[in-house]
Amino acid sequence: MVAALTERFFAHQKFAEIKGKMAKILLAEDDKNLGSVLKTELEESQYNVDLVPNGVEAVLSFISTSYDFVLLDMLMPRLSGIDALRIMKRIDPHIPVITFSGTARKEEQEESVRCGAIKWLAKPFAIAELKNEIRSHLLHKDGGAPR
Ligand SMILES: [Mg+2]
Protein backbone atom coordinates (compact mmCIF):
# COMPACT_ATOMS: atom_id res chain seq x y z
CA MET A 1 0.00 0.00 0.00
CA VAL A 2 2.69 2.48 1.07
CA ALA A 3 4.97 1.33 -1.74
CA ALA A 4 2.20 1.87 -4.28
CA LEU A 5 1.45 5.33 -2.91
CA THR A 6 5.13 6.24 -2.91
CA GLU A 7 5.48 5.08 -6.48
CA ARG A 8 2.45 7.13 -7.48
CA PHE A 9 3.82 10.18 -5.72
CA PHE A 10 7.18 9.96 -7.47
CA ALA A 11 5.50 9.28 -10.79
CA HIS A 12 3.64 12.56 -10.38
CA GLN A 13 6.81 14.35 -9.26
CA LYS A 14 8.73 13.07 -12.26
CA PHE A 15 5.91 14.07 -14.55
CA ALA A 16 5.73 17.56 -13.05
CA GLU A 17 9.49 17.95 -13.48
CA ILE A 18 9.35 16.88 -17.11
CA LYS A 19 6.45 19.16 -17.89
CA GLY A 20 7.86 22.01 -15.83
CA LYS A 21 4.29 23.22 -15.36
CA MET A 22 0.82 21.85 -14.84
CA ALA A 23 -0.61 20.63 -18.11
CA LYS A 24 -3.88 22.34 -18.93
CA ILE A 25 -6.79 20.15 -19.99
CA LEU A 26 -10.13 21.11 -21.49
CA LEU A 27 -12.82 18.60 -20.47
CA ALA A 28 -16.22 18.77 -22.22
CA GLU A 29 -18.83 16.51 -20.63
CA ASP A 30 -22.56 17.18 -20.19
CA ASP A 31 -23.04 14.44 -17.57
CA LYS A 32 -22.53 16.45 -14.37
CA ASN A 33 -21.51 13.47 -12.24
CA LEU A 34 -19.00 12.06 -14.70
CA GLY A 35 -17.67 15.54 -15.43
CA SER A 36 -16.96 16.32 -11.80
CA VAL A 37 -15.48 12.87 -11.09
CA LEU A 38 -13.11 13.20 -14.06
CA LYS A 39 -12.16 16.76 -13.15
CA THR A 40 -11.38 15.78 -9.53
CA GLU A 41 -9.38 12.72 -10.60
CA LEU A 42 -7.36 14.65 -13.14
CA GLU A 43 -6.69 17.46 -10.68
CA GLU A 44 -5.40 14.87 -8.20
CA SER A 45 -2.93 13.89 -10.92
CA GLN A 46 -1.68 17.50 -11.06
CA TYR A 47 -3.56 18.60 -14.14
CA ASN A 48 -5.24 21.96 -14.44
CA VAL A 49 -8.77 21.20 -15.71
CA ASP A 50 -11.49 23.41 -17.25
CA LEU A 51 -14.84 21.60 -17.32
CA VAL A 52 -17.53 22.75 -19.78
CA PRO A 53 -21.02 21.22 -20.29
CA ASN A 54 -21.50 21.43 -24.07
CA GLY A 55 -19.77 21.62 -27.43
CA VAL A 56 -20.27 25.36 -27.95
CA GLU A 57 -18.61 26.23 -24.66
CA ALA A 58 -15.85 23.76 -25.45
CA VAL A 59 -15.06 25.56 -28.71
CA LEU A 60 -15.29 29.00 -27.08
CA SER A 61 -12.90 27.93 -24.29
CA PHE A 62 -10.58 26.37 -26.84
CA ILE A 63 -10.40 29.63 -28.78
CA SER A 64 -9.75 31.79 -25.71
CA THR A 65 -7.33 29.54 -23.79
CA SER A 66 -4.21 27.55 -24.63
CA TYR A 67 -4.65 23.86 -23.77
CA ASP A 68 -2.24 20.94 -23.75
CA PHE A 69 -4.96 18.34 -24.10
CA VAL A 70 -8.69 18.07 -24.85
CA LEU A 71 -11.21 15.45 -23.67
CA LEU A 72 -14.50 15.42 -25.55
CA ASP A 73 -17.74 13.62 -24.83
CA MET A 74 -19.44 12.81 -28.15
CA LEU A 75 -23.08 13.29 -27.17
CA MET A 76 -23.49 16.83 -25.85
CA PRO A 77 -26.10 19.57 -26.21
CA ARG A 78 -25.73 22.54 -28.59
CA LEU A 79 -22.78 21.07 -30.51
CA SER A 80 -21.67 17.44 -30.65
CA GLY A 81 -18.22 16.30 -29.65
CA ILE A 82 -17.39 15.32 -33.23
CA ASP A 83 -18.27 18.81 -34.55
CA ALA A 84 -16.29 20.44 -31.72
CA LEU A 85 -13.38 18.15 -32.62
CA ARG A 86 -13.55 19.18 -36.31
CA ILE A 87 -13.48 22.88 -35.38
CA MET A 88 -10.63 22.49 -32.88
CA LYS A 89 -8.53 20.54 -35.37
CA ARG A 90 -8.94 23.33 -37.95
CA ILE A 91 -7.74 25.83 -35.35
CA ASP A 92 -4.87 23.65 -34.07
CA PRO A 93 -4.17 20.44 -36.03
CA HIS A 94 -1.66 19.30 -33.37
CA ILE A 95 -3.91 19.47 -30.32
CA PRO A 96 -4.16 15.99 -28.75
CA VAL A 97 -7.81 14.98 -28.29
CA ILE A 98 -9.42 11.93 -26.71
CA THR A 99 -13.11 11.34 -27.37
CA PHE A 100 -15.53 9.12 -25.48
CA SER A 101 -19.15 8.10 -25.55
CA GLY A 102 -21.67 5.58 -24.32
CA THR A 103 -23.00 4.56 -27.70
CA ALA A 104 -20.03 2.34 -28.60
CA ARG A 105 -20.81 2.67 -32.32
CA LYS A 106 -17.96 1.59 -34.51
CA GLU A 107 -18.67 4.34 -37.08
CA GLU A 108 -18.41 6.96 -34.35
CA GLN A 109 -15.07 5.58 -33.25
CA GLU A 110 -13.78 5.58 -36.84
CA GLU A 111 -15.07 9.10 -37.45
CA SER A 112 -13.30 10.35 -34.31
CA VAL A 113 -9.99 8.91 -35.43
CA ARG A 114 -10.50 10.20 -38.98
CA CYS A 115 -11.06 13.68 -37.53
CA GLY A 116 -7.77 13.46 -35.66
CA ALA A 117 -8.57 12.11 -32.19
CA ILE A 118 -5.69 10.06 -30.80
CA LYS A 119 -8.07 7.74 -28.99
CA TRP A 120 -11.77 6.95 -28.59
CA LEU A 121 -12.96 5.42 -25.32
CA ALA A 122 -16.25 3.59 -24.72
CA LYS A 123 -18.09 4.56 -21.55
CA PRO A 124 -17.73 3.38 -18.91
CA PHE A 125 -13.94 3.49 -19.18
CA ALA A 126 -11.31 3.10 -16.48
CA ILE A 127 -10.06 6.51 -15.36
CA ALA A 128 -6.60 4.94 -14.99
CA GLU A 129 -6.64 4.13 -18.71
CA LEU A 130 -7.56 7.71 -19.55
CA LYS A 131 -4.78 9.05 -17.30
CA ASN A 132 -2.25 6.69 -18.86
CA GLU A 133 -3.18 7.86 -22.36
CA ILE A 134 -2.84 11.53 -21.43
CA ARG A 135 0.36 10.98 -19.53
CA SER A 136 2.19 8.93 -22.12
CA HIS A 137 1.12 11.33 -24.86
CA LEU A 138 2.36 14.42 -22.98
CA LEU A 139 5.62 12.70 -22.03
CA HIS A 140 6.32 11.73 -25.62
CA LYS A 141 5.47 15.18 -26.85
CA ASP A 142 8.04 16.68 -24.49
CA GLY A 143 10.70 14.13 -25.36
CA GLY A 144 10.67 12.51 -21.93
CA ALA A 145 10.84 8.77 -21.48
CA PRO A 146 7.52 7.15 -20.64
CA ARG A 147 7.52 5.24 -17.39
MG1 LIG B 1 -23.01 13.26 -23.14
Range 105-138 burial, b when 16+ CB lie within 10 A, else e: eeebbebbeebbbebbbeeeeeeeebbebbbebb
pLDDT at residue 139 greater than cutoff 90: no
Ligand 1 centre distance from Cα of residue 26 (Å): 15
CATH 3.50.50.60 holds for 22-139 = no
Domain spans in the chain, listed from the N-terminal domain onward: 22-139
Expressed in angstroms and rounded, the spacing between residue 138 Cα and the centre of ligand 1 is 25
User: What are 18-76's pLDDT values in tens digits?
Assistant: 555 789 999 999 999 999 999 999 999 999 999 999 999 999 999 999 999 999 999 99
Pairwise CA distance, residues 78 & 134, whole Å: 26
Q: For residue 21, which amino acid is it?
A: K
